[in-house]
Amino acid sequence: MIFNETKIKGVYDIDTEPHEDKRGFFMRTYDDKKFKDKGLNRDWVQENHSFSKHKNIIRGLHFQFKPHGETKLVRVVSGEIYVVFADLRKDSDTFGKWGSITLSKDNRKMLYAPKGIAMGICTMTENCALLYKMDNHYAPESQGAIRWNDPDLAIEWPIDDPILSERDSEAMSFKEFVEKHVGLEE
């Protein structure tokens, strides 16, 4: 595995190193020693599988409030997904900044995002499946969401007219988040 820190401190684009031959491939998607060597030591307590049937679905920007903040290790096993990560950590040098990565079944990349990072996805193909490990149990009472098209964050999404859930359509703005919560604690 090759760990590449993004412009958001603590968020890593991880290249897997598949071994391929005429039968297919084998790749390691987690190695606690390699993660510990990078200071990314986590006890993963939950793994989720998200499936999106259609192209142009946006989910997010989602996060969890303390004490239920989540570090996530994300990868795509079917389709192609544009993933956005926004820094909500109140003491971070990159607070209010965002980055993105395309994860796909073909590029076999992963994304590591620490607590305090909001994430959103946009499906670029039909039938997208996303797997992600978390280091904390999901707590619905601690969930938060910021509007996908917030003008202050000015995220450059690859589509203009997404399919959204009611929750994501009614999410708070970044300005509302800052006024109410200041930021997230790690």
Catalytic residue among 132, 137, 138, 181: 132
Q: Is 12 a catalytic residue?
A: no
Do 84 and 121 contact (CB within 8 A), yes or no?
yes
- Residue 2: both structure tokens together: 């090759």
Q: Is the dihedral of CA 14, 90, 119, 175 positive or negative?
A: negative
Q: Is 68 a catalytic residue?
A: no
Question: CA-CA-CA-CA torsion for 163, 116, 111, 168, nearest 10 degrees?
Answer: 0
In 46-97, DSSP assigns E strands to 46-52, 58-64, 72-78, 80-87
C-alpha angle with apex 24: 22 to 30, nearest 5 degrees?
Answer: 140
Catalytic residue among 62, 68, 137, 138: 62
**Among 108, 105, 90, which Cα is nearest to 19's?**
108
Burial of 86 (0-12, 13-18, 19+ CB in 10 A): buried
Amino acid letter, 91: D
Residues classed as catalytic: 62, 132
